[in-house]
Amino acid sequence: MATEKYGVYAQLVKSLANTPVSTDTNVIFIGASPTGDLNKAVLITSMADYAEKLGGAPGDGYNLSEAAVAAFSVAGINQVYMIPVSNSTEFDADDYIGDAELFTGVYAIENLLRENPTTVNILCAPSVTDSSVLAALNMIAKKADGHWVSFMVYDVSEYSEQLNEANAVNVDAVVKDKQLNDELADAVWGHVKTSGGYFVSGAAVRACLMAKSDSDYGVPARCGGNLAIPGIQGIVCDNSRGLAHTVAKSNSNPTVTFTLTEEGFTDYNGILRCSIVLWNGGAPEYPVNVTQEVTFTDGEGVLTWTPTDYVTPAVANYKDDTVYYGGFAAVILTESAATQLSADGICSYINYGGGNWHTWGDHTSAFTAGNVSDERARYDSNIRMLIMLTNRFQLKYRFSIDDPMTLTMRNDVIQEENDYLAYIKSIGAIIGDATCSFKADDNPVDNIALGQFVWSIESTITPPLKYAQLNVAHSSAGLSVYYE
């Protein structure tokens, strides 16, 4: 018995062979903000709009604030959707997915995609590495409300254990922490420091840069790799050590100065963000975050802090205070190390010189060098381009359900899809002879009698220039000129 079907569907099917305009791309962020109704999508169009609707500001510790900086200050896109699932910087998997029975946060994404369908959706949960969160989000990213497929960008966990003593990346440790292996997911390693001095999720930056590229190019054919990042000053890693210093302080001079000599900070010029806690009779008071440029010479650096806005006269009378600090260390990531990460489907960032930072790596999370189960998963642009074709079909014909399926309508669908394929071929997004057809094998008489019709497209997405080599050899043949 044939299965009853109703509505407009489109899906990615297994690739046939192992061969290598505005796109309406929406970035959807899910995370935490200071205020806002939980599990409800909000359209955000600027930093000021974010502050008004969700109460956030750059550097306030909320990951949706990081997303806002990535969107408006770094990538320069004009809108994103945000779904607050928590109003606290301290939240866990339950905040993302909601009640275990209801998955409220996931439903919010479903509702957003249902009410605001677009050709491509990029779902991102910045600064999140919890495996249960990623599993829940990836579930909805694959098949939102039974129709809309989204491409997900997520962070790889970032700990000091992933760096060696010189703050160079330990590639094996990063790869070990990659938690998903899905072709619709894009793993990203590395927080970045913006020109404004803010620390922003690399996943958020990458998601917004891909949306910007889609808009500029007209289709999502540009790979996520090698996208220029404006205003980025480097990659940072949370190297918090929780070490204590006891420092002298007097009533007349509340300035705190202490010397840092711990291993790992040798010969480092960069940002140190300190969490300073004053202790009053055994109870902590006045925790504050201080960001300063600290220059280290021969393993030592001096940090000075004047706590005029935080210290009451009573606390200022204490002669000694204990200061706990942790820092963000500059990360050394060479092109060869970034390429090793890319070989395992992890994207990162590299410095081209002169502060010219670019994304590096355009594989999906399913990619491992030498082992790709389906060629469409080799590049993120493959997946996003195919999603665009399927979503576009649903958008165009969703209101034609229950119309008479005349022969003219059958042919009109073929013509419309072939015209669009010719357009995206003309701008270099696909190569070869991509065509839409109506095959007898896909449309048996029993299905047609039930009003079920299937069109098919076979397309080859244009591959990127991943590697360029020029072979230059010395030849002695030119010496013959001496004998002419």
Give the per-residue pLDDT at 293.
Answer: 52
Chain segment 68-124, per-residue pLDDT in tens: 999 999 999 999 999 998 898 877 777 877 766 667 777 888 888 878 778 888 999
pLDDT band for 18, please (50, 70, 90 cuts).
Answer: very low
Chain segment 153-175, per-residue pLDDT in tens: 988 877 777 877 667 888 999 99
- Nearest to 366, CA basis, from 227, 185, 204: 185
Strands (DSSP E) found in 230-319: 232-238, 243-248, 256-260, 269-280, 283-295, 301-305
Same domain, 211 and 96: yes
Same domain, 139 and 232: yes
DSSP SS3 for 400: helix
pLDDT exceeds 60 at position 311: no
Choose the final residue of a domain: 289, 306, 326: 326
184, part of any domain: yes
Tokens of 40: 């409800």
Same domain, 246 and 233: no
Cα separation, 97 vs 242, in Å, equals 31
Give the per-residue pLDDT at 156.
Answer: 87
Identify the domain containing residue 311 by its residue range: 241-326
Same domain, 339 and 204: yes
Token pair 């699932």: residue? 85
Same domain, 91 and 134: yes
Chain segment 248-287, per-residue pLDDT in tens: 444 344 455 555 544 344 334 444 444 444 444 444 444 4
431, part of any domain: no
399, part of any domain: no
For the residues 455-480, what does the mean pLDDT come to? 90
Give the per-residue pLDDT at 436.
Answer: 94
Same domain, 115 and 102: yes
Chain segment 361-388, per-residue pLDDT in tens: 989 998 888 788 888 888 999 999 998 9
Give the per-residue pLDDT at 1.
Answer: 45
CB atoms within 10 A of CB 138: 20
482, part of any domain: no
Contact 44, 33 (CB under 8 A): no
15, part of any domain: no
Q: Which of 77-81, 131-135, 138-142, 402-406 has the lowest mean pLDDT?
A: 138-142
DSSP SS3 for 312: coil
- Nearest to 118, CA basis, from 27, 11, 251: 27
What CATH number is associated with residue 266?
Answer: 2.60.40
Choose the final residue of a domain: 280, 300, 326: 326
Same domain, 252 and 190: no
Higher pLDDT, 317 or 425: 425
443, part of any domain: no
Same domain, 124 and 169: yes
Give the per-residue pLDDT at 323.
Answer: 42
87, part of any domain: yes
Choose the final residue of a domain: 360, 385, 410: 385
Give the per-residue pLDDT at 2.
Answer: 55
Where on the phi/psi map is residue 281: left (φ > 0), alpha (ψ -120 to 50), or beta?
A: left
Cα separation, 484 vs 477, in Å, equals 12
Same domain, 317 and 338: no
For the residues 45-66, what does the mean pLDDT come to? 93
Chain segment 432-443, per-residue pLDDT in tens: 889 999 999 999
Chain segment 332-371, per-residue pLDDT in tens: 888 889 999 999 999 999 888 777 889 999 899 988 887 8
Same domain, 185 and 314: no
Same domain, 285 and 378: no
94, part of any domain: yes
Amino acid making up residue 101: E
Q: Which of 102-106, 211-215, 231-235 has the lowest mean pLDDT?
A: 102-106
What CATH number is associated with residue 65?
Answer: 3.40.50
For the residues 191-212, what does the mean pLDDT come to? 89
Residues with Cβ within 8 Å of residue 451, at least 6 apart in sequence:
405
Strands (DSSP E) found in 337-455: 346-351, 357-360, 430-437
Burial zone of 142 (CB within 10 Å; 0-12 exposed, 13-18 middle, 19+ buried): middle
Angle between helices 380-397 and 407-426 (to 10 degrees): 150
pLDDT band for 145, please (50, 70, 90 cuts).
Answer: low
pLDDT exceeds 90 at position 137: no
pTM: 0.78
Same domain, 179 and 143: yes
Cα separation, 175 vs 339, in Å, equals 12
Task: Tell me the backbone φ, ψ of residue 237, rounded to 5 degrees.
Answer: -135, 140
Within 13 Å, how many C-alpha atoms sit on residue 316's CB side? 14
Total domains in the chain come to 2
pLDDT exceeds 50 at position 454: yes
